Amino acid sequence: MKTQLYLTSALAAVALAACGAPEEAAQDAAPAETAAQSADAETAETAAVEAENPLLAEWTTPYGAPPFDLIEPAHFLPAYEIALASHSAEIEAIAANPDAPTFENTMLAMENSGAQLTRISRVFFNLTSSASNDEIRAIQREMSPRLAAHSASITLNADLFARIDELFNTMDERDLTAQQRRVIETTHERFTRAGAQLEGEDRARFAEVRSQLAGLYTQFSQNEQADREAWTLALSEDDLADLPDYIVSAAAGAAADRGLEGHVVTLARSSVEPFLQSSPNREQRETAWRAWNSRGSNDNANNNADTIRQILALRREQANMLGYESFAHYRTGGTMAGTPQAAIDLMEQVWWPARDRALEEAADIESMIAADGLDHALEGWDWRYYTSQVRAERFDLDESEVKNYFQLDEMIEAQFYVAERLFGVTFNERTDIATYHPDVRVWEMLNGEGEVVGLFYGDYFARPGKRGGAWMSSFRAQNGITGDIPIIINNCNYNKPAEGEPALVSFIDASTLFHEFGHGLHGLLSSTDYPSLAGTAVDRDFVEFPAQIYEHWLEQPEILERFAVHHETGEPMPADLLERVMAAGTFNQGFATVEFLNSGFVDMAYHLHEDPTSIDIAAFEEEILSSRQSPEQIPMRHRSTHFLHTFAGEGYSAGYYSYLWAGVLDTDGFAAFTEAGDIFDPTLAQQLLDSVFAAGNSEPAMDAYVGFRGREPRVDALLRDRGFVDAEG
């Protein structure tokens, strides 16, 4: 998501190089002739580059998919040079148009501009996340500040904004469709929030700040990746004997990916978390846990502490220049929450019930430690290990047994099946479309009439060069003007099994799969008139709603009975095991919610701080967590120095709370289906499609939710869903 949001900004940019050129040409006829000859030569050179560069040439692939079999890192910089110049010229032509502004000559022209730059950047930034290497990272370091400067040159173009502003102030006098009004409203807001109304030195400084921030975001991300990929924990044969087969298999695959012998644990979440849950070796758990939590804060070149302070200071300066009290006020000002306090109030409402439940969970773990005859205190590296034992004892669940029924391929089929039942679309795998890595798979999405209406890529396994976590992005957004179908990609980081073995995932991994596919469907099912409104281009605290509500279908017995089948026998999960899996649904929710909220509170506190340059990162985290009386054994889900959500870009900065905000929406929203007595109720499914998945940003987020649910959301369902009702009382 981060990449897609960044591109929306980058492609709204324009350079000022062409300003004044007509006057200069009129002053001297001889230089004009020379310039014309030079221009012809430049045009010929550009045409030659375009013919040879696959990023600039016409894509004759199926559905215009990226020709990854032809694209090489060396193609990007030359392609960017041409695309940036082309986009600058297009935008300058719009800004300098002598005709009075209309929707067609201003807004529609902007929607159609920058096609080359859009295409190149969507491919490039997906590769920086999914298949990076030293060459790609070097290009990223060079291009990120340049693209930010390009973006600023558009949003700070006074002539262009004057046209947008005139359209905005005269909308009621014009014959506009609802979506045309929305395009004007959202564009005007985006430009205003990007400094379009600044004057004088402030305009130049604002552009400089944006460029500096872009470079710092790249630095933060690359530091985290370098620290994460540098660490491994080698496992001996004795260590392996105490671990489940699926962890042993994943450890062998991780070693092979790195050219190492034997078996290793890595700091990919899909590797380290199962190890922390399963390893009886407390010393090794502590080593892995400390390495996992210290990414980006070690005494080496990858330390992100100073990068964080620089980012926070520049963000505060940026917000102050725009008249906001803090960056937190700036960021929440354009969301459903509206203010930092509203976001904090929501987190507070959930915090105390979650903390109470977490303390109950801690007491259960301490009892088990004592029962084992051990006298050590409960520490962070103990929580997952003993939680898995408490869970196994209370619900008679063995993670290895459960995992045998969660084959990745079956879960992929399950996500497609739910989409078909809800929205009438089907998926057909294509093996003839080039990808950037052999593990990537491609499907075409067909509507009820058999027409291909989207292309979907799935990149599911962890590997070196791929950032951690899971995310959705796009190679092409749905475009109602050109009729181009969306091309969407989901990335996950599951452990790749040894050759010939099935890919088994946990229930949580399967939930992540459904979550990201919910984002994917938000892009695939988009049906807007204009690309700037398409798919996930919605409020930050609304964008998680489609993803999080989609997770609920995985939890339904009807889905698990059909797709949770044993990888060896093909038999469905036994009824008694299914019942125990469902009964354990709210288990350890105290820990999970506290872990999340720790990051949410710290994120918001950073962006409210009045003097970010003075912050001691570790001490600040401790101060915020202590003020909430957070259990010491539960850290932030994302420690600051590897908090990619908030410091590798602006998508979730002062906005990590949005997952909880969306949690209120998704639990309240899915309750509509359970109340109807049919998880595939056709009327509700159609409302969900029309108001949310297909609508993009064609109306304000709350209006979209009410269009689906019939009323505004309530927090009750979230508290009930997480098992906090009793704690609340």
Q: What is the set of active-site residues? A: 516
**332 in Cβ contact with 338 (< 8 Å):** yes
Rounded to 5 degrees, what are φ and ψ at 422?
Answer: -80, -45
Chain-centre distance of CA 712, in angstroms?
26
Pairing of strands 452-461, 487-494: parallel
What whole-number distance in Å separates Cα of residue 297 and Cα of residue 642?
Answer: 8
**Angle of CA points 10, 537, 486, to nearest 5°:** 90
Rounded to 5 degrees, what are φ and ψ at 264?
Answer: -140, 150
Contacts of 290 (CB under 8 A, 6+ apart): 381
Burial class (CB in 10 A: 0-12, 13-18, 19+), 281: middle
Residue spans of alpha helices (H) in 199-324:
201-230, 237-241, 245-257, 269-278, 282-293, 305-321
What whole-number distance in Å separates Cα of residue 5 and Cα of residue 9?
Answer: 7
- For residue 426, give the 3-state DSSP assignment: strand
Q: Write down how long the chain is.
A: 729
Torsion-angle region of 535 (φ positive above 0: left; ψ -120 to 50: alpha; else: beta) = left
Torsion-angle region of 710 (φ positive above 0: left; ψ -120 to 50: alpha; else: beta) = left
Chain-centre distance of CA 332, in angstroms?
18
Q: How far is CA 375 from CA 123, 283, 371, 451, in A?
A: 54, 15, 10, 65
Q: For the stretch 650-685, what's the b/e string if a residue is b when 16 or more beta carbons lie within 10 angstroms of its beta carbon?
A: bbbbbbbbbbbbbbbbbbbbbbbbeeeeebebeebb
Chain-centre distance of CA 63, in angstroms?
25
What whole-number distance in Å separates Cα of residue 607 and Cα of residue 599?
Answer: 13
What whole-number distance in Å separates Cα of residue 503 and Cα of residue 404?
Answer: 10
Given strand 487-494, what is the order of strands in its sheet? 426-430, 441-446, 452-461, 487-494, 471-476
Please state, as a whole number, how many other Cβ atoms lie within 10 Å of the Cβ of residue 421.
16
What whole-number distance in Å separates Cα of residue 632 and Cα of residue 642?
Answer: 19
**Three-state DSSP string of 249-272:** HHHHHHHHHCCCCCEEECCCHHHH
**555 in Cβ contact with 418 (< 8 Å):** no
